[in-house]
Structure 1
Amino acid sequence: MNRTYALIAVCAMLGACALGPDGKPPAMPQPAHYGAQPQAELSVMAEGASQRFVTGATPVPEWWKLYRSDALNALVDEGLRASPNLAAADKGLVAAREQLRAQVGSSLLPRIDAGGQATRQRGLGIPEAGPPTVLYNLFVGQIQAQYTFDLFGAARYENASLAAQVDQQAFQLDAARRALAANIVTGAIGAAALHAQLDVTERLVALANDDAHDAERRYALGSASRADMLAAQQNAASLAASLPGLSAQWLATRHALAVLLGRTPDRAPDDLDLTGLTVPSDVPVVLPSELLRTRPDIQAADSALKAAAAQVGVATAQMFPSLSISASMGKGGFDWPTALSGAGALWSVGASLSQPIFHGGALRAQRRAAIATYDAAVEQYRQTVLAAFQNVANTLAALETDSEALAFADTASSKARDVSADAAARVRLGAIAPRAARGSEQQYLDARLSTIRASSARMSDTAALFQAMGSPVASAVRDAQQVSKAP
């Protein structure tokens, strides 16, 4: 008995030692700023507004409300509530939590089962001693218990690995939720911008048709050449040819937005008014050191790293002894009175200790495979962090160039509008021909198209930056901890 106690004590001390990596993420470089050039504090003024990049600020949970559009808020709320993809991911997370509860209960607690058996059998007898066959009944009822000591932490490592995988799913769900919100915002902005471009392009086509008809009349009167008439007709046809593609793009964007909202494409929402959206003035820029905790994709990679580290412990613990105990107690007999009496008592107690000796190198190979998987998870974590830095840097650079492009486009559009208004006034006074005013209006509409594209690009890239900043640290960590402690 003393030897048994000593063996159990030695196994417990060995089991307390770490058999795998600690699962801590590797140290990552902390850049002074995200891009190749430092980020300016204020963007270029465009359409009467500039954006301030608040370095060190925390992410905004419901950032889409900064666009100050009730219609946009309603679309995002509907999508987060009715999206089948989010619902499926949420149910998958619930299933993963229940699987974790099941594994923890089955691996760390004793297993107790109750069973009963009632049979009637025909057995061969000994002819010299009795009848050639024997008919008899057998009644057995018992309770069985079994427990395996987790001496080296194989079960605990396995549970830790599964808990980390559940955390990973939770962070992936958070990333999917934020991606859905960003896709709805950019989809609604894109649909509104395409609608505005369609309206402008239709007006351009109408003006080009007027020019073509005017050229035809002037050619008939001999005041214009045939080349001038053909050029005007070709210009009108080219502009009209751009309408079907633009319309198809607009409808495809509306259909995609409807599906994001959980609707059928025929129930696509009405387009927003692009001029009714306000570009957010303050945009948070999380510090690179904090981005490691706010980005759900980085947190998911961290959880995958912890799961892989725990699997190394599992593979190592499987190379050490395993101790199990079992016991059963019940009643049995060839008839009910005997089975229920004291004479029918049945019981058993046993223990088993097994030590792997030779498995054809399988256990060592499995441990080497687990270590290689862990090393791969470390590198994947590094790549995820670098990709996150790149994502933020590209989005910040895009926002800066968007503001510059919008400023130039807005200036050009403003000047072209003034020229068009001046030409229209001169036409009314009879100073110039109407076709000159149409040319000025066409130049203004071309500039207006550039302004619409630049304005929608700035709003969409702003949404992309809000998404790139991730979730507030407190809520993300709290969700993950709740998942880990769910059992």
Structure 2
Amino acid sequence: MKRLGSRWWLIAVGGLALTACTVGPNYVRPAVELPVSYKESAGWKVAEPRDQINRGNWWEIFGIPELNALEQQVTVSNQNLRAAEASYRQAQAAVQATRAGYFPTLSANTTATRNRLPTSANKNSTSGDRLSDQYVLNFDARWEADVWGQVRRSVEASEASAQASAADLASIRLSLTATLAQNYFQLRALDAQKQLLEDTVAAYRKSLELTKNRYAVGVAAKVDVVQAQTQLESVQAQAITIRVQRAQLEHAIALLVGQPPEAFSLPPAPLVASVPVAPAGLPSDLLERRPDIAAAERRVAAANARIGVAVAAFFPTLTLSGAGGFQSTNFTQWLSSPNLFWAVGPALAQVIFDGGLREAQTKEARAAYDEQVALYRQAVLTGLQEVEDNLAALRYLEAAAIPQTAAVQSAQQSVALTTNQYKAGLVSYLNVALVQAAALNIERDAVILLNNRLAASVLLIKALGGGWTQQ
């Protein structure tokens, strides 16, 4: 009976631990209002063939090997991406640290001391020995039962935070790869404009030579030569500005791929990319596809779990602790059974007064949850807006491409016709200068339009969460 009576509390502690509850609200993803379809997706259809695009390497849809190679360098060498990956590893380690709360802690220590007693304390000793030895080997164990789910809620919060960190990593990777694609297309657009300006400079030199020859024989006025000279120098200045912009973009790309600008260069090349057709899918897909929305939703889950941690502080804590070991004054008999000692027992603790600390912490946790819910819903709205914006941009820019192509052809014909009229003496050089300037602007607008379409396509991919599946 004594043996059973001395262990009743062990049965009670075990039963209490097994029937432990988890306080605080269980997580439910906040509701958001989503439209049935995108407003700007009317008229879009899925392109053929219906093959599946690699969602991870979404840039491969443009079919540019050089861009593919640069994007791979971003995923390996970009320092911002490495920092985000390190942050994710920190979050994973934090989960492991929080899970340690499930287990007891065990510690051990040993001491060996020699004491000398004063003579006055040893008056009755016949041997006169005033020295004594003390050997202690001690083990301590402590375990706090997670009766109210405080540890479980803490682990839940840590896991959700780690998942948010993983989504942040994906979001940063998507943002960096999208930025690289935009910079690459813009650089190639500048290459196309640079080539256009160089061709224009060559044509203007011929026009200048023509006006000088006509002036020399007296069939043209001096003003024609001045106009031709001014026109040539203006285009040469524009070409220099293009070189400055290209150099800056090249440096930006070097930074994205993790290289110093002086060690990186991209030779000029034509802009040959085509704009892919983008099926936008359903608005509800954004909740699963976009990493920034996923990160916001996981932070809501973490904030919800922290409410449970705060609520658990209102309840008592149950701790089971024990100690044991060996203690002796004789080293040779130190670890023998007669020198064994132990103690074990539970402890129940409850905070009676804290000046409103726990109540304030609970209010703080609930307010933090409300904040994360609002941020999550705002992230969803922002995602919807970005998809609509770029769907509209692609649709209207595609509609503009057809008349823009026709305008380029008409401008080139106008230059040829007006130049022939000038050679025949039917018009002044001012007419030639005007149509040449108009043709240059129209051709540059065509290049800029293509770049804008490619940029809108990249931004739509980013808005959709990285690539799409054609099905």
Same fold per superposition (TM over 0.5)? yes
Separation in 2, partners of 1:53, 1:303: 36
Does structure 2 conserve the Cα–Cα contact (< 8 Å) formed by 1:146 and 1:326? yes
Separation in 1, partners of 2:291, 2:129: 73
Does structure 1 conserve the Cα–Cα contact (< 8 Å) formed by 2:387 and 2:464? yes
The residue identity in structure 2 corresponding to 1:39 is: A
How far apart are residue 301 of structure 1 and its match? 0.5
TM-aligned CA distance change 1:364 to 1:124, over 3 Å? farther
TM-aligned CA distance change 1:158 to 1:122, over 3 Å? farther
Instruction: For 1:37-116, list aligned pairs within 5 A.
Output: 37=40, 39-41=42-44, 60-104=55-99, 106-116=100-110
Does structure 2 conserve the Cα–Cα contact (< 8 Å) formed by 1:58 and 1:284? no
Does structure 2 conserve the Cα–Cα contact (< 8 Å) formed by 1:93 and 1:166? yes
1:290 matched to which residue of 2? 285
The residue identity in structure 1 corresponding to 2:249 is: T
2:235 matched to which residue of 1? 239
C-alpha offsets along residues 410-438 of structure 1, whole Å, 9 cap, x if unaligned? 111122234445667x5999788996777
Secondary structure of 1:244 counterpart? helix
How far apart are residue 300 of structure 1 and its match? 0.3
Runs of at least 5 residues in structure 1 that lack an aligned partner in the other structure: 43-50, 475-487
Separation in 1, partners of 2:271, 2:424: 35
Secondary structure of 1:120 counterpart? strand
TM-aligned CA distance change 1:148 to 1:433, over 3 Å? same
1:16 matched to which residue of 2? 21
Q: Please give the root-mean-square deviation of Cα atoms over the aligned residues, in Å.
A: 3.5
1:367 matched to which residue of 2? 362
Secondary structure of 2:334 counterpart? helix
Q: How many residues align?
A: 458
Instruction: For 1:245-256, list aligned pairs within 5 A.
Output: 245-256=241-252
How far apart are residue 288 of structure 1 and its match? 0.8
Q: 2:408 aligns with which of 396, 410, 413?
A: 413
C-alpha offsets along residues 319-376 of structure 1, whole Å, 9 cap, x if unaligned? 1010011112211223312422333212121221101110111011000100110111
Structure with larger Rg: 2
TM-aligned CA distance change 1:419 to 1:237, over 3 Å? closer
The residue identity in structure 2 corresponding to 1:444 is: A
Query: Bigger shift: 192-201 or 134-143?
Result: 134-143
Separation in 1, partners of 2:26, 2:268: 51
The residue identity in structure 1 corresponding to 2:44 is: E
TM-score when normalising by structure 1: 0.83
Q: 2:308 aligns with which of 307, 313, 317?
A: 313
The residue identity in structure 1 corresponding to 2:35 is: P
2:258 matched to which residue of 1? 262
The residue identity in structure 1 corresponding to 2:107 is: D
C-alpha offsets along residues 237-263 of structure 1, whole Å, 9 cap, x if unaligned? 443333333222111111111121122
Instruction: For 1:436-451, list aligned pairs within 5 A.
Output: 442-451=437-446
Secondary structure of 1:447 counterpart? helix
C-alpha offsets along residues 138-166 of structure 1, whole Å, 9 cap, x if unaligned? 22213222111000000110111011000
Secondary structure of 1:156 counterpart? helix
Does structure 2 conserve the Cα–Cα contact (< 8 Å) formed by 1:294 and 1:470? yes
Does structure 1 conserve the Cα–Cα contact (< 8 Å) formed by 2:316 and 2:348? yes
Separation in 2, partners of 1:401, 1:9: 69
Secondary structure of 1:367 counterpart? helix
Query: Bigger shift: 231-240 or 333-342?
Result: 231-240
Separation in 2, partners of 1:367, 1:133: 63
Q: 1:457 aligns with which of 446, 452, 457?
A: 452
1:181 matched to which residue of 2? 177
TM-score when normalising by structure 2: 0.85
Separation in 2, partners of 1:10, 1:111: 20
Does structure 2 conserve the Cα–Cα contact (< 8 Å) formed by 1:194 and 1:246? yes
How far apart are residue 129 of structure 1 and its match? 3.0
TM-aligned CA distance change 1:226 to 1:386, over 3 Å? same
How far apart are residue 200 of structure 1 and its match? 1.7
Separation in 2, partners of 1:363, 1:334: 49
Separation in 2, partners of 1:213, 1:473: 54
Separation in 2, partners of 1:314, 1:183: 40
Secondary structure of 1:284 counterpart? coil
2:384 matched to which residue of 1? 389
